[in-house]
Chain A
């Protein structure tokens, strides 16, 4: 059994209140952190090997160390936009244990010498926003945030900011523009947010789960945490499993757990009589895997080696009852809808891809169109302002290459049907 850190007792009644959280030992890591010098906090996080849980998997300690030292307006932004299809872990974590997030935020801010933090939560999460707001008020009242926290010389203001429905605001620079009250268009990088982010100031951006892991790391120490998980993939991960499984939900596993265990043992696998046809290991942006890949260990490097990625840690299972074309269309339409429109390859490429897929669906395409579609994906990948374009192009490419026969068969059958008619 893997250790449970984030989801442990998460259904305990009242855990969202300060009382119960404190009773369970909550905020003791914060006390500990306040007694440490900031660099030591960052050093512990660095030693833990914790990699970002938002999608890119960047080492959390290193990111924090990028921020310039010294007295200036620096910001921490907690990315709670959680909009990657298939992902719903941050929702459950924030809803049930908001104080752990607040504690993580204060620890991370203290480490990087930050005095102003924002939680950017997607607008649709209204219930979670209310819960967080209440928790922030409690924490403020108890002196865990605000001026001179717990009597120390450290102050931190935390503001909850609600989005309004745009996937691109999960991309860190799009998020910053959105938080500045603009359209959520991604920015050119460099400059990276660590040097020039929110209001042009150095900004540390971390995912909810990343930040929620920090109290535990401070509690047990970075080296101890690093013992969990797989090489280069330390710790546990909350995985959202959905689609054609019998027990969809969030499961916390040690990184490196075989994927089959997650999909079958925990989530119950596809309904009786059905087989796994394809699965997204890291949200809809990850290239798809097939039944043959079920034994890949679920960690950053193993999935990268398999040509895909862990992403946000969301497994979507599709069984053999569903045509791959339906999946491809849903994916492409999603990214077309969510493309911010700023850069050409993403804006036009997502649209063109949908139009081609629609043509395949209606039987007006030939196998040559699959080649054009594959080449269009090639022209998107790596050429966009942010990686939203790639996030469509990579899974679509993978579906074309892994399910070419099925797609060609579909075209043929539509054409035969037309001829018959």
Chain B
């Protein structure tokens, strides 16, 4: 689809000749001539201007009425006056009108000092008001949600926040109620505004009407510093600006990068900073001593770890995940492979993917970038839920559909939040993304389609294929890397059938399970994958590592940001594996019960605001993390711990600084070679666009589609089990007092049909029991969009996660009487209250 581009024109503004792209809005074009036109309602990120506040009125020669600069496109030869008598009179008028009902309580307002209303009043107001009647007063501040407070006296009805809810997040929960001067921002029937992206309205509000409850009264703008880095809580890797005071993160703001996040953040990214500063966080090294973990000195912890590793030697295996950086991945792989002589490193939660597959998938010709999602003819979301897996990408998809008319197709194993925006949606059997991709490829080629293994009908596949073919050639496939459990061949075949490699703007974007999955792999921390997707000898993948530990072929496990009890399938298997291991070393910020019980050494993990290094975005953009605060407590840099361990085990990496670790990475990964941290600057660099991309090794053979696995089937009263990880199932969410309310309890989603057939109702507590007898307690959620015969449970929970179950189907049974009430629950509640005050 054509992307915006335009000619340069010259116009005159307040006597200056200014060059600007044709059709740029005057409010923006003026800035190119260093002239500021005041605006309130105008925010280009929100889409078309609405011209509501009338703050930007200017005089344009040849047009009798004053015009709103926010909605007037510049044309060649236009003559604009922003300070003519008429313009000034109108601007003063608008400021005066806006202040009529504004309380002017700036001294007690969080926005004070960074408030557009304050600035514009100062710059464009008349300096006095002739309004002498009493102002209106309301109760304030009021809760709009647990995260956001609203002060309706201050609201200037600029529409920004409600436009966000309507046109960006499309959640349509925040609305204007009533009409005229009675209009106010609110929700339906007093429901809270709780939605995955709600916090953005705080940043959008040009006055102090919408404020962050966790941030309220924490600081004044002149006491704080801003510090740019990258959020690594999920693969979307949004660019953020951290507000810091006294080495504490007080707030997270978006740092707009149009190629990454468009200037938005999800609420996890915005509020989970609280978890950096909570007491539960591990901030000192621990070792197991007499069955209990206890704090020790770094020397002690390091030597304990080194000793354990030395004893295990080549029987060590390592898993990397979470927010681990590329540098950490590189050093981990060196430690395990080069120093200890074990091939067993991985960074995927499940099965094996062949090196050739990775190479083929990384081919620059197949690489789509985030902004391609916005301008493609069609976007196929395949086996992932953008909202949960990389939330900001979801907003980009919505933007493309809304503004560019992108055809959105969804092929997933469970209902998607994007369903209402999709031209076509289809549900395949849980875990059968690869089989579906194979069937779709066949349908696109016009061949015979057998989709039974994917659990869908051939007609459904053919219908989707025809929408896809008709949409146009620029197709972006956004897939979940979990699909690769069935091999990459089918997906590559689909890409080939669609001709993605030969079409600019078309391609693949794979969402890994871990935030930096792609970077870890490219740094060489993946099974059978060396730095730069180079050749290495063998190596078990994650589930093989579990088996190896259980079978005694492996004796030590090194966990870098991975908690097997939460992050990996087959919880019981991992429990046995860790039970067998003699040494379990974990970098962890928070301890699950499992880790608490099984880790022998715990290194306090850095939170991302403390980290330096690089990460690689799913679209190949290498981004730089910069520390914004000092490491809390005893926390040390992860790269330095890995370097220390290498040294203790007899191999000096000669890496003494974070920058040196990055340099080592750029040297080790041929596609990254020649990069510098400076070059990465604030925006990052996509390696697939660099000359050095040619250093990516080619696959030795074209990966062929794997034979399809039969679709899981339900029998009798059992339901086929599907699972997913919610955006909110993260330890950082659970640990952040303000966000904890979003951390989901386990629930089982079933169709209305099954609810009737099984006589289970919404909200009922049940026990989901699989063929092996493993069981999870869950609350029934009846959902119209769930296909009949399915039960969908949450993964990624600390205790009752879907990874407790190993079978392919579950039955819903009556639960045993509830366990003893946990006395801690209430205390947590109180804490939240306190944190919110």
Residues on A lying within 8 angstroms of B by beta carbon are 166, 183, 188, 336-345, 347-352, 355-356, 359, 372, 378-380, 382-385
Contacts and interface: CB of A to CB of B under 8 A. Distances in A.
B188 interface: no
Contacts of A380: 93
Contact of A344 (B53, B176, B182): B53
Nearest to B101: A348
13 contacts: A188-B68, A339-B180, A341-B180, A341-B183, A342-B50, A342-B157, A343-B53, A343-B54, A344-B98, A348-B98, A349-B97, A380-B93, A383-B90
A343 B51 contact: yes
A304 B94 CA distance: 28
B146 interface: no
B458 interface: no
Interface in B92-121: 92-94, 96-98, 100-101
Interface string B80-92: 0000000001101
Given A348-B97, A355-B133, A384-B54, A341 B179 contact: yes
Contact of A351 (B49, B159, B176, B181): B181
Nearest to A182: B166
Given A188-B51, A342-B52, A344-B98, A379 B180 contact: no
A83 to B, nearest CB: 14
B651 interface: no
B133 A359 contact: yes
Nearest to B157: A341
Contacts of A339: 179-181
A55 to B, nearest CB: 18
Given A341-B180, A347-B180, A355-B133, A379 B51 contact: no
Secondary structure class of chain A's binding surface, majority of residues = helix
A379 B133 contact: no
A198 to B, nearest CB: 17
A379 B97 CA distance: 9
Given A337-B180, A340-B180, A351-B100, A345 B52 contact: no
Given A183-B176, A343-B53, A344-B94, 20 more contacts: A336-B181, A341-B179, A341-B183, A342-B50, A342-B159, A344-B52, A344-B55, A344-B97, A344-B98, A345-B94, A348-B100, A348-B101, A350-B180, A352-B133, A359-B133, A379-B96, A380-B93, A382-B66, A383-B94, A385-B52
Nearest to B133: A355
A382 B64 CA distance: 10
B97 A352 contact: yes
Contacts of A341: 157, 176, 178-183
Contacts of B89: 378-379
Contacts of B133: 352, 355-356, 359
A348 B181 contact: yes
Residue with the greatest number of chain A CB neighbours at <10 A, chosen from B54, B66, B98, B157: B54
A12 B159 CA distance: 51
B179 A340 contact: yes
Interface of B: 49-55, 57, 65-66, 68, 71, 89-90, 92-94, 96-98, 100-101, 130-131, 133, 156-157, 159, 176, 178-183
Contacts of A383: 54, 57, 66, 90, 93-94
A372 B90 contact: no
A372 B65 CA distance: 22
A378 B92 CA distance: 12
Contacts of B66: 382-383
Nearest to B53: A344
Contact of A385 (B51, B90, B93, B180): B51
Contacts of B90: 379, 383
A347 B54 CA distance: 11
A237 B101 CA distance: 43
B694 to A, nearest CB: 46
Contact of B131 (A336, A338, A352, A378): A352
Sorted nearest first, the 9 A-B pairs with minimum C-beta distance are A379-B93, A348-B97, A341-B183, A339-B180, A188-B51, A341-B180, A355-B133, A351-B181, A342-B52
A32 B787 CA distance: 58
Contacts of B156: 344
Contacts of B50: 188, 342
Residue with the greatest number of chain A CB neighbours at <10 A, chosen from B93, B100, B180: B180
A341 B41 CA distance: 13
Contacts of B130: 372
B53 to A, nearest CB: 5
Contacts of B178: 341
Nearest to B89: A379
Contacts of B101: 348
Contacts of A351: 100, 181
A55 B475 CA distance: 50
Residue with the greatest number of chain B CB neighbours at <10 A, chosen from A341, A344, A372, A380: A344
Contacts of A336: 180-181
B347 to A, nearest CB: 47
Contacts of B100: 348, 351-352
Contacts of A384: 54
B528 to A, nearest CB: 53
A178 to B, nearest CB: 12
B404 to A, nearest CB: 14
Contacts of B180: 336-341, 347, 350
B51 A345 contact: no
A392 to B, nearest CB: 12
Nearest to B95: A344
A350 B92 CA distance: 17
Contacts of B97: 344-345, 347-349, 352, 379
B628 to A, nearest CB: 38
A349 B53 CA distance: 13
A166 B93 CA distance: 27
A384 B54 CA distance: 7
A347 B89 CA distance: 18
A232 to B, nearest CB: 20
A378 B93 CA distance: 9
Residue with the greatest number of chain A CB neighbours at <10 A, chosen from B93, B101, B183: B93
B25 to A, nearest CB: 12
Residue with the greatest number of chain B CB neighbours at <10 A, chosen from A183, A341, A379: A341
Contacts of A183: 176, 179
B87 to A, nearest CB: 10
A380 to B, nearest CB: 8
Nearest to B55: A344
A378 B98 CA distance: 16
Nearest to A351: B181
Nearest to B184: A341
A348 B129 CA distance: 13
B269 to A, nearest CB: 31
Contacts of A345: 54, 93-94, 97
A40 B280 CA distance: 81
A338 B54 CA distance: 19
Nearest to B96: A379
Nearest to B99: A348
A345 B90 CA distance: 9
Contacts of A355: 133
A349 B100 CA distance: 9
A345 B53 CA distance: 8
A163 B92 CA distance: 36
A256 to B, nearest CB: 28
A29 B54 CA distance: 46
Given A183-B176, A188-B49, A352-B131, A385 B181 contact: no
Nearest to B177: A183
A22 to B, nearest CB: 43
A188 B159 CA distance: 14
Contacts of A356: 133
A57 B372 CA distance: 48
A171 to B, nearest CB: 14
Contacts of A349: 97
Contact of B54 (A352, A378, A385): A385
Contacts of B176: 183, 341
